[in-house]
Amino acid sequence: MQTLLVTRVAVFRDTLADALMATGRISVVATAQDSDAALVAAHRRRPDVALLDLPHPYGPATASAIRASSPGTQIVAFAVRARDTEILAWGKAGAVGCVSASESLSSLVIAIEHAANGQTTFSEALAGTLFAAVARFDMSRAPEGDSLTRRERQILELVASELSNQQIADLLHLQLPTVKNHVRSVYRKLQVHRREDARAWVVSRGGGGEYQAGTRFLKPAGPLR
């Protein structure tokens, strides 16, 4: 798939472009060193994927601009720090992949391939940051939330993030009927009847929106085959 590579350090940019091309799975059709050059290249080349290594908040802003100029281009952010605010900013900007600086070339290639197929990918370390954000979610201000179990709170947050029951089951490695039972229990305890009401309940208390449908988590990968 055709890829635009954006990173500020010239030596690293050239080396990474060569490494991606050498896999035989990625075609780097353009490179750029900053936001302005990235926007020009994205508009001209319309790549399948734009791979961005730009700091927050410039990186997410560039991602938003590329998506507006070239809607068919998927965004993968790499060298992302494990900070929930930054990861969420990338997500809101339209990124479908977030890869930490500690990941291998193989993992980066996997993220690019998933992005080209419209699948969302997080490095395992970054996914852990998001799960920690869910764990910190404070429901103590609402008495009606006190009776929720830990699993029900986790599922409620994922429901509020607009994941389907099947996607929640896949993410948490649960059976679909088990997830449905948890969702019904959550509705009963919160005295709501629809997913929209559950989401409104969470958002009103400062949570929600931390996951995207189709999310995949990267495991440490071996050599490319």
Question: Do 137-203 and 2-123 fall under one CATH topology?
Answer: no
For residue 208 the two structure tokens come to 């929600």
Residue 71: the pLDDT is 92
Residue 86: the pLDDT is 81
Give the pLDDT mean for 146-155: 83
Question: What would the 3-class secondary structure string for 115-149 be?
Answer: HHCCCEEEEHHHHHHHHHHHHHCCCCCCHHHCCCC
Give the pLDDT mean for 94-118: 90
Distance CA 18, CA 67 (A): 25
For residue 3 the two structure tokens come to 């890829």
Give the pLDDT mean for 176-185: 93
Nearest 5°: the CA angle 42, 81, 91 is: 50
Residue 141: the pLDDT is 43
Residue 144: the pLDDT is 52
Dihedral sign, CA of 109, 110, 112, 113? Answer: positive
Higher pLDDT, 52 or 97: 52
Residue 88: the pLDDT is 75
Distance CA 143, CA 35 (A): 47
Q: Say whether domain 137-203 belongs to CATH 1.10.10.10.
A: yes
Digit-coded pLDDT (tens) for 56-88: 888 999 999 999 999 999 999 998 887 767 887
| Residue 143: pLDDT over 60 | no
For residue 224 the two structure tokens come to 């490319």
Listed as own residue / partner, the contacts of 173-180 with beta carbons closer than 8 Å and 24 or more positions apart are 179/155
Distances (CA, A) of 133 to 35, 127, 179: 29, 10, 21
| Residue 210: pLDDT over 60 | no
Give the pLDDT mean for 170-191: 89
Could you give the 3-state DSSP secondary structure of residue 63? helix
Domain boundaries, the chain: 2-123, 137-203
Give the pLDDT mean for 103-123: 90
Residue 215: the pLDDT is 43
Lowest mean pLDDT among 34-43, 109-118, 204-213: 204-213
pTM exceeds 0.75, yes or no: no
Nearest 5°: the CA angle 70, 72, 73 is: 70
- Which amino acid, one-letter code, is at 223? P
For residue 150 the two structure tokens come to 């830990």
Higher pLDDT, 136 or 3: 3
R_g (Cα) of the chain, nearest Å: 19
What is the CATH superfamily name and number for domain 2-123? Response regulator (3.40.50.2300)
Nearest 5°: the CA angle 140, 84, 191 is: 35
